């Protein structure tokens, strides 16, 4: 019988203060288990969407490993989902890296690296937090602003036309969620134009 293997991950929250957790977890767990461990270790609720992204030594974002299967075209095979992705099938060596993004409105970003591969210690219950540095901020401490990255420079001549198009779309829509988004967009554009 082979010994149970453990991955030790170092997780660093992208904040001004140093907030680090080392998590040890069995290699036969799925990425959903790692997701849940990260949430618990940083004191987050885990109710928002999240994704892991394969990464490299420069922390560039690669292939997405989403929380749920986001589906594809009708004739495509089912997509990836964390629950179906076993750690040992996707991690082959020490120092493999992932970006983990939680809450796509607040964009909490975590740097995740495999720092050790080892045999499980029978006296320990896994998963576990083996190192903790810094106090994690409140999950709601980041502001939600959907419009910070929008650059409307040079577009003011067509803003009135865009606002008219938004108004027309609002008249044609039935869905409350879509109307709410468009109303917020219209209001934000009007407020930016006044500046």
Fold adopted by 5-141 = 3.10.290
Please report the pLDDT score of residue 154 as a whole number. Answer: 47
Please state, rounded to an integer, the average pLDDT across all residues of the chain.
82
pLDDT for 155 beyond 50: no
Q: How far apart are CA 70 and CA 79, in angstroms?
A: 7
Q: How far apart are CA 22 and CA 38, in angstroms?
A: 9
Please report the pLDDT score of residue 186 as a whole number. Answer: 58
Question: Would you kindly state where each structural domain of the chain is located, as residue ranges?
Answer: 5-141, 156-194
Helices within 13-106 (DSSP H only): 31-42, 87-90
Output 46 or 161, whichever has higher pLDDT: 46
pLDDT for 114 beyond 70: yes
Query: Using CB atoms within 10 A of its CB, is residue 157 exposed (0-12), middle (13-18) or buried (19+)?
Result: exposed
pTM for the complete prediction? 0.71
| 69 pLDDT tier (thresholds 50, 70, 90) | confident
On the CB side of 113, how many CA atoms lie within 13 Å of its CA? 12
| 124 pLDDT tier (thresholds 50, 70, 90) | very high
Q: Note the pLDDT tens digit of each residue in 3-49.
A: 789 999 999 999 999 999 999 999 999 999 999 999 999 999 989 99
| 1 pLDDT tier (thresholds 50, 70, 90) | very low
* Of residues 46, 27, 29, the one with CA closest to residue 38: 46
């Amino acid at each position: 019988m082979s010994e149970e293997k453990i991955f030790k991950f170092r997780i660093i929250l992208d904040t001004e203060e140093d907030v680090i957790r080392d998590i040890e977890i069995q290699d036969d767990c799925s990425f959903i288990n790692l997701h849940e461990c990260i949430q618990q270790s940083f004191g987050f609720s885990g109710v928002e969407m999240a994704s892991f992204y394969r990464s490299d030594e420069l922390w560039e974002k690669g292939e997405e490993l989403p929380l749920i299967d986001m589906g594809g075209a009708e004739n495509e095979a089912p997509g990836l989902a964390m629950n179906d992705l076993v750690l040992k099938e996707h991690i082959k060596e020490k120092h493999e890296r992932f970006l983990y993004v939680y809450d796509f409105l607040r964009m909490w970003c975590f740097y995740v690296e495999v720092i050790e591969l080892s045999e499980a210690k029978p006296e320990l219950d896994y998963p576990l937090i083996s190192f903790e540095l810094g106090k994690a901020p409140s999950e709601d401490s980041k502001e939600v602003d959907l419009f910070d990255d929008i650059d409307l420079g040079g577009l003011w001549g067509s803003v009135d036309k865009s606002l008219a198009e938004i108004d027309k779309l609002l008249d044609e829509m039935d869905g409350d969620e879509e109307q709410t988004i468009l109303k917020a967009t219209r209001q934000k554009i009007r407020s930016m134009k006044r500046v």
